[in-house]
Amino acid sequence: MTLQELTGQESGIVIYPNRETIVCNWSSLEENELPRVLNGLAVIGYPEEDEVFEGAESADTEDFRTSFPDEMNVIWDENGDLKSIADGTYYWKDDFRATIYTLRNGTVIIAPPLWN
């Protein structure tokens, strides 16, 4: 399974257990890959354990910001989405709906439907 197949969309926010956060388009990732940043230059698919998405738990939320950890280390956000959320210039104004996926390894995937 791919991240796009899991979420039904091509982009969103990935928060790893160490709080490293990547905001990206994941449509090019292959089976069992999660996005990683290569030398600060590009997002690539990185192979994870077999069936990394198996058993993922999902829940819908009206405000995905409640899923953010207290501190995040944003290592990729090419379009400045998280900055726009923080400074009030978020494109979709007050629509923070999303499906939150939690993987077995503790990685959290936030998939806002308007980000497709």
Question: 68-106 pLDDT, tens per residue?
Answer: 999 999 999 999 999 888 887 777 777 899 999 999 999
Helix H or strand E segment including 23: strand 20-25
Residue with the two structure tokens 């890959």: 33
**pLDDT value of position 46:** 92
pLDDT in tens, 4-51: 999 999 999 999 999 999 999 999 999 999 999 999 899 999 988 779
Structural domain harbouring 108? 3-115
Judging by beta carbons within 10 Å of its beta carbon (0-12, 13-18, 19+), is residue 13 exposed, middle or buried?
buried
Number of structural domains (the chain) is 1
Q: Which bin fits 32, alpha (ψ -120 to 50), beta or left (φ > 0)?
A: left
Q: Tell me: pLDDT of 55 over 80.
A: yes
Strand order from edge to edge, sheet including 20-25: 57-61, 98-102, 108-111, 11-15, 20-25, 73-77
What's the predicted TM-score (pTM) here? 0.93
